[in-house]
């Protein structure tokens, strides 16, 4: 008897955990704090802050999402090991699955997910081991509580892809997982993809459906670098600064041009002027929003900035699962 699976794209970003499925997308800010024991009472004349989501699972108790760093000890582990299933990553996965079901309804079947990871995790001597580690901790039954309510589900199948691959297929495929006719030709030519995430800037070029290795790279010059420039005196956690940035309360006027030069430096070192031969240059990720008034114009009309650049990777991974399902059914 064949089981029906629910396909889901997951972009496990350093800035936010993004999920995308048939009902739409969801973004959970990647803030995690170990669960604090004391609560501050609401006092007269002060606004009461909205408490973050409280997650309890086999790894412990955590706050996740917006304002988490105001409620407990911030956990800011941004190295590659986090993708191997560290406690904070498990808390973020469970938190994002909670919020997704609260928005769109409970999952009524096992999940089949594609997880997008940075190139750094998928290259080098440990690449195969990293992929197996990711599959191992994500696949299988999950049970946790969120704000005291119990959740459980099964992730029956896990595939891993690069985040830039998700961005490419978001451009090539429509919402049903079919190739967009006027864009399918680009898949046989050369397409450049730039993802400006929280932790990294990643580049990939696909020629005739194959990545071109010499044009593919990743560098730790994502939005985190912008926040580090602003946070010269280290007065705030990165999560606190990220919250200010998202709320439009962070003064980045002086730091933005410095960071932009770092980003364009990564692109110029890897691509030079070779982008002139590409059919298109796709720009996405949360950082793309910050650079939307400058970066696309460097590519002389070839740049493509999707709607909802933050969701583009998870959405592309979801559409890729639909494409695979269509191919298997033929």
Q: Give me the residue spans of the domains in the chain.
A: 6-329
Mean pLDDT (the chain) is 88
User: Given this model, what pLDDT does residue 110 score?
Assistant: 96
Task: Look at residue 64 and tell me whether its pLDDT is greater than 80.
Answer: yes
Angle between helices 255-271 and 223-230 (to 10 degrees): 140
What is the band of 283 on the pLDDT scale with cuts at 50, 70, 90? very high
User: Given this model, what pLDDT does residue 124 score?
Assistant: 78
Q: What percent of the chain has pLDDT over 70?
A: 93
Task: Look at residue 247 and tell me whether its pLDDT is greater than 80.
Answer: yes
Question: Residue 114: which H helix or E strand, with range?
Answer: strand 111-117
Q: Cα–Cα distance between 12 and 178 in angstroms, integer?
A: 25
Task: Look at residue 53 and tell me whether its pLDDT is greater than 50.
Answer: yes
Q: Cα–Cα distance between 14 and 218 in angstroms, integer?
A: 14
DSSP H helices, the chain, are 87-104, 119-122, 127-138, 163-172, 181-188, 223-230, 238-246, 255-271, 286-290, 312-329
Superfamily of domain 6-329 in the CATH hierarchy:
ATPase, nucleotide binding domain (3.30.420.40)
User: Given this model, what pLDDT does residue 48 score?
Assistant: 55
What is the band of 46 on the pLDDT scale with cuts at 50, 70, 90? very low
Task: Look at residue 2 and tell me whether its pLDDT is greater than 70.
Answer: no
User: Given this model, what pLDDT does residue 24 score?
Assistant: 96
User: Given this model, what pLDDT does residue 3 score?
Assistant: 62
Backbone φ and ψ for 138, nearest 5 degrees, come out as: -85, -40
3-state SS, one letter per residue, for 131-182: HHHHHHHHCEEEEEEECCEEEEEEEEEEEEEEHHHHHHHHHHECCCCCECHH
Instruction: Give the mean pLDDT of 18-44.
Output: 77
How many other CB atoms are found less than 10 A from the CB of residue 34?
A: 18
Each residue of 127-186: pLDDT tens digit? 898 899 999 999 999 999 999 999 999 999 999 998 888 999 999 999 999 999 988 877
Listed residue (21, 305, 327) closest to 167, CA to CA: 305
Asked whether the whole model's pTM tops 0.85, one would answer yes
User: Given this model, what pLDDT does residue 274 score?
Assistant: 95
Task: Look at residue 218 and tell me whether its pLDDT is greater than 90.
Answer: no
Listed residue (16, 81, 99) closest to 314, CA to CA: 16
Q: Cα–Cα distance between 6 and 125 in angstroms, integer?
A: 33
Each residue of 261-280: pLDDT tens digit? 999 999 999 999 999 999 99
How many other CB atoms are found less than 10 A from the CB of residue 73?
A: 12
Task: Look at residue 7 and tell me whether its pLDDT is greater than 50.
Answer: yes
Q: What percent of the chain has pLDDT over 90?
A: 56
What is the band of 40 on the pLDDT scale with cuts at 50, 70, 90? very low
């Amino acid at each position: 008897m064949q089981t029906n699976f629910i396909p889901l794209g997951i972009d496990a970003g350093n800035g936010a955990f993004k999920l995308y499925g048939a009902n739409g997308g969801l973004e959970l800010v990647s803030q995690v704090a170990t669960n604090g024991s004391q609560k501050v009472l609401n006092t007269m004349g002060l606004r009461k802050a909205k408490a973050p989501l409280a997650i309890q699972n086999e790894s412990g108790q955590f706050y996740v999402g917006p304002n988490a760093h105001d409620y407990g000890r911030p956990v800011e582990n941004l190295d590659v090991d986090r993708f191997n299933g560290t406690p904070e990553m498990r808390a973020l996965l469970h938190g994002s699955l909670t919020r997704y079901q609260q928005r769109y309804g409970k999952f009524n079947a096992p999940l089949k997910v594609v997880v997008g990871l940075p190139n750094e995790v998928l290259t080098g001597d440990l690449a195969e081991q990293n992929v197996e580690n990711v599959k191992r901790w994500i696949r299988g039954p999950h049970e946790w509580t969120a704000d005291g309510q119990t959740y459980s589900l099964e992730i029956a199948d896990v595939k891993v892809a690069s985040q830039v691959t998700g961005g490419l297929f978001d451009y090539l495929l429509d919402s049903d997982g079919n190739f967009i006719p006027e864009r399918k030709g680009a898949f046989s030519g050369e397409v450049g993809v730039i993802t400006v995430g929280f932790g990294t800037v990643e580049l990939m070029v696909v020629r005739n459906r194959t990545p071109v290795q010499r044009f593919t790279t990743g560098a730790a010059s994502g939005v985190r670098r912008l926040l580090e420039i602003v946070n010269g005196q280290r007065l705030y956690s990165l999560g606190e600064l990220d919250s200010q940035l998202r709320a439009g309360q962070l003064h980045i006027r002086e730091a933005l041009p410095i960071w932009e030069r770092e980003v364009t430096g990564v692109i110029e070192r890897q691509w030079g002027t070779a982008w002139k031969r590409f059919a298109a240059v796709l720009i996405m990720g949360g950082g793309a929003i910050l650079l939307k008034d400058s970066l696309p114009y460097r590519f002389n009309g070839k740049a493509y900035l999707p709607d909802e650049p933050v969701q583009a990777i998870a959405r592309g991974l979801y559409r890729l699962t639909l494409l695979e399902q269509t191919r298997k059914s033929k």
